[in-house]
Amino acid sequence: MSDHKFLEVRDLEAGYQLGRPVRAVRKVSFDLAHGEFLGIAGESGCGKSTLAFAITNMLADPGKVFSGEVLFQGKDLVKCEREELRQMRWKEFSIVFQASMNALNPVMKIKDQIYDAVKHHSSEYVSGFDQRVRELFDYVNISHAYLNAYPHQLSGGMKQRVVIAAALALDPKLVIMDEPTTALDVVVQRKILQKVAELREKMGFSVIFITHDLSLLVEISDYLAIMYAGRIVEKAPSKVLFSRPLHPYTEQLMASFPPLVGEKRRLHFRGRSPVALSSNAARSVLPGSAM
């Protein structure tokens, strides 16, 4: 590991300014090295999506970063100017959002949409784009015939692979994925994750993978961080976290997956789930003895 950490998040506080500030991310700190795969797991309302947006400084009004630093290759993204960020986005780091496949423009060809994304962030590949986009499609195993297709002609899994391919277009060093496979079936999900792992081997990028599906993360990530009510409650190499969780919440979370193999027995989850951080629900969700 080099001295200059690849990504350092220090005491990040972010949330939404709704009259009074709602803190969705509280004093979050973690490090990421080159080529590492960090999984961030948490249930609904824990603030993980806000974290994804906050790290990349993409929180739009009323969202904002209240304090903290995000040192990406030494540069604080929180303090960056808009123009600087735009130049870095897609080239240095890229993001795949939840249900990005629904963000594809239904009246534009796939090829043109990727071209737009590429052109907006860099002059690289503008010539020679055709070759690059074919390369990208090869990465994700989609036939070149679909270059000239429209989004509705592709299945959910294919669309998501297109979005991932687009995110890799400019060889970013960091890819952040927020629930990229949630809406997809288990077989498609597995194939996409396999592909991401392959590409990571080949291209060497780091990944921050955010999801509520903890069972998935344990298998694919190097490190795992568990989020609860805006804070990271535990962080460890994934196999360690699974076999020897220290925080009670992690313990319970790990214990709530019915096993596919091995002994079949009754499981219990004790304790309360994190309260959603939207101001509405925070005021009025009632704690039942069983939630």
Partner 1 sequence: MRMQSLQQNIQTDTVLRLEALRKEFTIGTISKRQVHVVNGIDLEIGSREIVALVGESGSGKTTVARLVARLYKPTSGRIFLHSTEVPKWMGKRETLHYRKTVQMIFQDPYASLNALHPVRYAIERPLKIHGLVGRGELQERVVSVMEECGLRPAERFLSRYPHELSGGQRQRIGIARALAVRPELILADEPTSMLDVSIRLDIMNLLMDLREKENISYLFITHDLAGARYVSDRVAIMYAGHLMEVGPSSDVISEPKHPYTQLLKAAAPKPESGTEPERIDVGGEVPDLTALPSGCPFEPRCPLAKAECRERLPEMRVVSPNHSVRCVLY
Q: Using CB under 8 A as the criterion, which residues of the chain lie in contact with partner 1 when the complex forms?
A: 43-44, 141, 155, 157-158, 185-187, 189-191, 194, 212-216, 218-220, 239, 242-243, 252-254, 256-262, 264, 266-269, 271, 273, 276, 280-281, 284-286, 288-291
- Minimum distance from CB of 228 to partner 1 (Å)? 10
DSSP state for residue 89 in the 8-state scheme: B
**What Cα–Cα distance (Å) separates residue 123 from each residue in 64, 91, 117, 120?**
30, 11, 11, 8
Concatenate the DSSP letters of all residues of 93-114 into one string.
Answer: EEEE-TTGGGGS-TTS-HHHHH
Tracing tokens 């990465």 back to the chain, one arrives at: 139
- Minimum distance from CB of 175 to partner 1 (Å)? 19
- In the complex with partner 1, the residue whose CB is nearer, 145 or 290, is 290
- In the complex with partner 1, the residue whose CB is nearer, 94 or 181, is 181
Rounded distance, CA 43 to CA 271, Å? 14
Q: What is the chain's length?
A: 291
Instruction: Express the helix, strand and coil content of the chain in percent, nearest 5 each.
Output: 40, 25, 40
Rounded distance, CA 60 to CA 63, Å? 5
- In the complex with partner 1, the residue whose CB is nearer, 125 or 139, is 139
Q: DSSP strand E in the chain: where? A: 7-18, 20-32, 37-41, 63-72, 75-76, 93-96, 174-178, 206-211, 223-228, 231-237
Furthest-apart CA atoms within the chain: distance in Å: 62
**What Cα–Cα distance (Å) separates residue 15 from each residue in 24, 28, 51, 53?**
5, 12, 9, 10
- Minimum distance from CB of 256 to partner 1 (Å)? 5
- In the complex with partner 1, the residue whose CB is nearer, 46 or 88, is 46
- In the complex with partner 1, the residue whose CB is nearer, 27 or 212, is 212
- Minimum distance from CB of 237 to partner 1 (Å)? 13
List the structure tokens of 228: 């609860």
- In the complex with partner 1, the residue whose CB is nearer, 96 or 192, is 192
- Minimum distance from CB of 282 to partner 1 (Å)? 11
- Minimum distance from CB of 194 to partner 1 (Å)? 6
Nearest-Å Rg of the Cα atoms of the chain is 20
- In the complex with partner 1, the residue whose CB is nearer, 204 or 257, is 257
- Minimum distance from CB of 197 to partner 1 (Å)? 9
